Amino acid sequence: MAPQKIPPKTSLPKSNPSKLSTPSKLNVQPVRPSSIPNQNIIFFDTGPIISLVISRMSFILPELKKQYGGHFYITPAVKLELIDRPLTMNRYKFEALQCLKLLNDGVIELYEDVPVNTVNQLISLANTSFLSGTKNLEVLQQGEVESVACALKAGAQAVVVDERALRLFIEDSDGLRKLLTSRFEKEITPNQGNINAFSSKFKGMILLRSIELVCTAYKLHLYDGYAPPKRDGKAVLLDALLWAVKSNGCAVNEEEIEEMKAYLLRL
């Protein structure tokens, strides 16, 4: 049986329904296991912010946060990957400074109450879930695991992550096995018990990508003025936006891009 297709999303979870609407087929209820429910919180992994910065679209984040009416958090591990480490390398310093400005301006905020034991347990589960021969594969990184662990603790509505691995791990583990098999050109053996133990903690969690943020920004008219004055100007703009984030690290395929483009052109 073919793995179930994961539908593309085109907006943020509902916080202010009048401004951030979601198509009904994507209106998934978020998991809220924390003792502080109804928090308008979204956690960001490193990749989506980098995708937006490199694509010269980080300007959408302040307005998205304003419209959402909540908090955009990063964890210490994400800050290390996004700001602290790149600031030591000339090649990446300006991107790091742009991210630091987002932090200093309060657009993104640092969430420091990290459940360290939970993070360590999740990393151990994730990175002993797939074997190449007798060797465990390191499937997930500290930043993305810290993000989802903190999201659970804080009762967040969603996590924004551009890497394909985490999304597949939670939603389609056999798809991840096939991806790893293709990547390593070797047969990969899953440890189904560990996979189930990891993924069961995140059932129903909304996982977004930078491309969904771009779609939301388009719906909020944040790109008005960029479309060329021609009959198919909006289509040209959408191609430019969606392919930019794909080219800069967002895991999205061409079919998803075409679906998103078709949906947005109908608005």
pLDDT tens, 112-122? 999 999 999 99
CA distances to 10, 21, 79, 85, 185 from 213, rounded to whole Å, are 8, 13, 20, 25, 33
Candidate ranges 12-16, 37-41, 139-143; pick with highest mean pLDDT: 139-143
Q: How far apart are the first and last CA of the chain?
A: 35
Nearest to 65 by CA among 119, 102, 101: 102
- Name the 3-class secondary structure at 110: strand
Tokens of 34: 């924390």
Please tell me the distance from the alpha carbon of residue 100 to that of residue 176, in angstroms, as a whole number.
33
User: At residue 247, what is the residue type?
Assistant: S
Measured in degrees and rounded to the nearest 5, phi and psi for residue 147 equal -65, -50
Bigger pLDDT: 21 or 74? 74
What are the structural domain ranges in the chain? Answer: 35-265
pLDDT tens, 78-130? 999 999 999 999 999 999 999 999 999 999 999 999 999 999 999 999 999 99
pLDDT tens, 176-235? 999 999 988 899 999 999 999 999 999 889 999 999 999 999 999 999 999 999 899 999
Please tell me the distance from the alpha carbon of residue 13 to that of residue 208, in angstroms, as a whole number.
9
Nearest to 169 by CA among 135, 134, 214, 123: 123
Residue with tokens 């608005």: 267
Please tell me the distance from the alpha carbon of residue 22 to that of residue 35, in angstroms, as a whole number.
26
Range list of H helices, 27-139: 46-54, 60-68, 76-79, 93-104, 116-126
Q: What is the pLDDT of residue 12?
A: 65
Please tell me the distance from the alpha carbon of residue 216 to that of residue 260, in angstroms, as a whole number.
11
Average pLDDT over residues 148-159: 95
Measured in degrees and rounded to the nearest 5, phi and psi for residue 37 equal -75, 170
- Residues found in the chain: 267
Handedness of CA 45, 51, 56, 59 (dihedral sign): negative
pTM for this entry: 0.86
The class (CATH top level) of 35-265 is: alpha beta
